[in-house]
Amino acid sequence: MQYTIWLTYACNLKCAYCYEEEKRNLYLSKERARQLIDFIKNRSNTYSDDNISIVLHGGEPMLNYEVLRYIVENVKIWDEDVSISMTTNGTLINEDNIEFILDNINDLSISIDGTAKAHNANRKYRDGKGSFIDTIKNIDRILEKKGDTIARMTVTPETVKYLYDNVKFLYDTGFKLISPIINQYDTSWNEDTMAILEEQLLQLSNFCNSQAEELHIGMLEKMKNRKKSQCCPEMTLNIDAKGDIYPCVYVVGDKKFLMGNIIDGIESEKLLEIKHINNKELKQCSGCFWKDYCHGYRCKLFNFAISGEYSPGYAACRLEHVLLKTYKQCAICEK
């Protein structure tokens, strides 16, 4: 089971595409963190779950570093095999915390969109200043000790034409694991920008192949290994800064999907309701051969967070077809 823990909703940046900007400025307290760890321990014992992973989430999780450290230290004392991951904008990593982060976070992702121009176009401080310099300043030290650190890129209709250049820049910087994420909250995706995405991904696939085993691009890797699977809450629980439990990272804070809390546990009826939503048949997808592998079809709560509908929107559906076409083209090229 994966537990995503919201250390805070707050962030020191104001990224143009942030879907959490309007959420409350709450911080997880140390006392609530202790209760949260007890909740995870009790569930582990009840369900004989020895395959636990924890994701430290925000906002910017490093804003609540004291509680972050408390959770990591106490979880490792309980079970040193628990895998802990975190995505951070990197700006708050400094001499006082870098060694602890590198020694104790198993899977680290840094949010960085590519070159300084591309990054600063959207990832700004609240005063409008770009954050690239502060994000990149510790990259050499981080990659020297954690070569598997992931560069997490956000791709918009405006920046998609630079996708190849931005990935190439990050690779030249030292990243070997790069995860471009399409911003599906942006409603301006259209056939022109999707065609550009397709062309950029084909370039990236050819470039990736030329680097042998050195470079892995998240979008393309996931397409190669795509399997049928169920969505949350079969695989993950999200616990917010108040200790409330939600099934999906994208609906945290929406009381419609509140499943319980770490003191009283999960409401069985609410769990069944969420499962029913996840298992809903979608008429618009009924004739699609890809639906059982498609994130847009399976991730119904993600769809709801974007549009208020459980069906996948244009970007989700079109993206799947772009990725599938790219993979097929590349598979033919490799023969």
On whether residue 168 sits in a domain, the answer given is yes
pLDDT digits 0-9 by tens, 73-98:
999 999 999 999 999 999 999 999 99
Number of domains present in the structure of the chain: 1
On whether residue 117 sits in a domain, the answer given is yes
pLDDT digits 0-9 by tens, 52-69:
999 999 999 999 999 999
Q: At 192, which CATH number?
A: 3.20.20.70
Instruction: Return the pLDDT at 308.
Output: 93
DSSP 48: T
On whether residue 308 sits in a domain, the answer given is no
- Cα distance from N-terminal residue to C-terminal residue, the chain: 39
On whether residue 261 sits in a domain, the answer given is no
DSSP 187: T
On whether residue 298 sits in a domain, the answer given is no
Q: Is 202 helix (H, G, I), strand (E, B) or coil?
A: helix
Instruction: Return the pLDDT at 333.
Output: 45
Query: What Rg do the C-alpha atoms of the chain give, in angstroms?
Result: 20
Cα–chain-centroid distance for residue 278?
A: 19
What are the beta bridge partners of residue 179? 152
CA torsion sign for 330, 323, 189, 129 is negative
On whether residue 83 sits in a domain, the answer given is yes
On whether residue 278 sits in a domain, the answer given is no
C-alpha to C-alpha distances, 289 to 84, 159, 169, 286, 324, nearest whole angstrom: 36, 31, 36, 8, 12
Instruction: Return the pLDDT at 266.
Output: 94
Name the CA dihedral angle for 258, 317, 307, 232, rounded to a multiple of 10 degrees: 0
Picking from 188, 225, 165, 182, the residue whose alpha carbon sits closest to that of residue 322 is 182
Give the pair of three-digit tokens for residue 188.
Answer: 């301006």
pTM, 2 dp: 0.92
pLDDT digits 0-9 by tens, 177-200:
999 999 999 999 999 999 999 999
Domain that holds residue 193: 2-224
On whether residue 232 sits in a domain, the answer given is no
Q: Which residues of the chain fall short of a pLDDT of 50?
A: 332-335
Identify each DSSP E strand in 112-259 by its residue range.
150-155, 177-182, 216-217, 236-239, 244-246
